[in-house]
Amino acid sequence: MSNPATEDWCVIDTETDGFRSPIHIVEVAAQRMRGFSPIGKPFHALLNHGVRIPQPARDVHGYSQRYLAKKGGDPTKVHTALCDYIGRSPVVAHNLAFDWNRCLGPEWERLGISPAGMFGFCNAKLARRVASNLDSVSLEALRSAFELKCSRAHSALGDVESVVDFLCRIAYPKLKRAGIRSFQDVTEFSSLTPVARCHSTIDQSVVQLEPIRPPRATEAWFFLDEQNACHGPLRLTDLRSVMKLGSTLVWTDRLNGWTRASDLAEFRDMIGQAKKTPTIGAIGEAAGSRSDKAINEELLQVCRAIVSDGKVTDAELVFLTRWLEDNPYPGRWPAAEISHAIESITADGLVTMKEKQWLKELLDSLISGCS
């Protein structure tokens, strides 16, 4: 068993000239970590690729082509030094799939530099599971909620400082109390679904009943309430006692996805007491408060726009990921299903055409279900 206090990894962040390929990194920062403490000085550099910096990108990070021509380093030299700094360590970023898949990997290949490090975990995914009281897990939202360190927002170095502060001061103490100690433990937890299970593990406050950690032989069940918020884990007997007539979608490990309780033998004796089971589309329409409905409708509009040309592009995947990061969806359908799909697609650091086609088909089915 590895000693968490001696595990080396690296937090990284990039600022770029936009989202359209080829993406050029204009600023990069990194911080070595040992256990959940920073070690040594951070890495920081500006890069001059000699390319035009579009105004939308300048509005975010403030770097103009003229400024980078004066202050930026040669990209090959900067990336060589960065790879030496990272070494073979796992890499963590707030939006790791973007930084790793769309920025670092393609730029290293374009410059002929051997890749460094390996895909670690995404801080945004971890924050969604740790910060159960927050609707948004954007870095701005985390900074505001936890007063995270940041020398300058929307700079690579400032963002690295905020991620390191969040991980060391906010996330890891909660994870450690829950028995999640090693880097591998944290990595696995950052992709655990459903998210409500993670909330239960961390703060034990998702439902009024005291959540349990069932023995391996006992199934843990989850259910959607009238607002489509996900609750659990619960024993089957506890679930039956609290599940109201309208709460018809349930899930446990052996099920492929959310399933109507009326379709399962465990709940068949309750069918006579229940009203007509609502359709998934009706559940989506009844998703809680007015603001919840507005959020769901906006998400569906985003999905319709994405699939309108019959495909999902890399840029659209990034946009959808960031929309989910910036908007509240605590276990609610359909955002939870879309989020879980994206997390599954990006978990290994690679996004294939087959996976994007699968996401497109999922979006099509969700749009159809709400029509």
Domain identity same for 271 and 287: no
Q: 174, exposed or middle or buried, with CB in 10 Å at 0-12, 13-18, 19+?
A: middle
In 3D, which of 249, 312, 313 has the Cα closest to residue 279?
Answer: 249
What digits encode the pLDDT tens for the residues 84-142?
999 999 999 998 988 998 899 999 999 999 999 999 999 999 998 998 878 788 899 89
Domain identity same for 236 and 156: no
Residue, of 81 and 278, whose pLDDT is higher: 81
Give the model's pLDDT for residue 227.
59
Domain identity same for 159 and 199: no
Give the model's pLDDT for residue 12.
98
Domain identity same for 180 and 72: yes
Domain identity same for 254 and 353: no
* Share of the chain residues as helix, strand and coil, in percent rounded to the nearest 5: 50, 15, 35
Q: How far apart are CA 29 and CA 161, in angstroms?
A: 9
Domain identity same for 31 and 120: yes
**13 — pLDDT class (breaks 50, 70, 90):** very high
Q: How many CB atoms lie within 10 A of CB 361?
A: 12
Query: Looking at the whole model, is its pTM more than 0.85?
Result: no
Q: 187 with 116: CB under 8 angstroms? A: no
AA identity, residue 127: A
3-state secondary structure of 206: coil
What digits encode the pLDDT tens for the residues 145-200?
999 999 998 899 999 999 999 999 999 999 999 999 999 999 999 988 777 778 87
Give the model's pLDDT for residue 2.
61
Domain identity same for 222 and 73: no
What digits encode the pLDDT tens for the residues 24-68?
999 999 999 999 999 999 999 999 999 999 998 898 899 999 999
Domain identity same for 81 and 214: no
What digits encode the pLDDT tens for the residues 298-342?
888 888 888 888 888 887 888 888 787 776 654 556 776 787 778
Domain identity same for 225 and 148: no
Examine the fold and report which residue of 148, 168, 189 is the final residue of a domain before the chain moves on: 189
Place of tokens 């086609």: 357
CATH code where residue 114 lies: 3.30.420.10
Examine the fold and report which residue of 174, 189, 204 is the final residue of a domain before the chain moves on: 189
Q: How far apart are CA 317 and CA 324, in angstroms?
A: 11
Place of tokens 């060589």: 80
The total number of structural domains that make up the chain: 3
**pLDDT(202) > 60:** yes
Question: Which tokens is 310 given?
Answer: 């019959």
* Phi-psi label, residue 233: left if phi above 0, alpha if psi -120 to 50, beta otherwise: beta
Give the model's pLDDT for residue 167.
97
AA identity, residue 368: S
**pLDDT(216) > 50:** no
Domain identity same for 223 and 181: no
Domain identity same for 303 and 159: no
Q: 250 with 234: CB under 8 angstroms? A: no
| Residue 243 lies in domain | 195-278
**pLDDT(350) > 50:** yes
Place of tokens 């970023």: 93
CA dihedral (44, 8, 350, 299) positive or negative: negative
Q: 115 with 108: CB under 8 angstroms? A: yes
Domain identity same for 16 and 139: yes
Residue, of 88 and 350, whose pLDDT is higher: 88
- 60 phi and psi angles, rounded to 5 deg: -80, -55
Examine the fold and report which residue of 259, 278, 297 is the final residue of a domain before the chain moves on: 278
CATH code where residue 214 lies: 3.30.1490
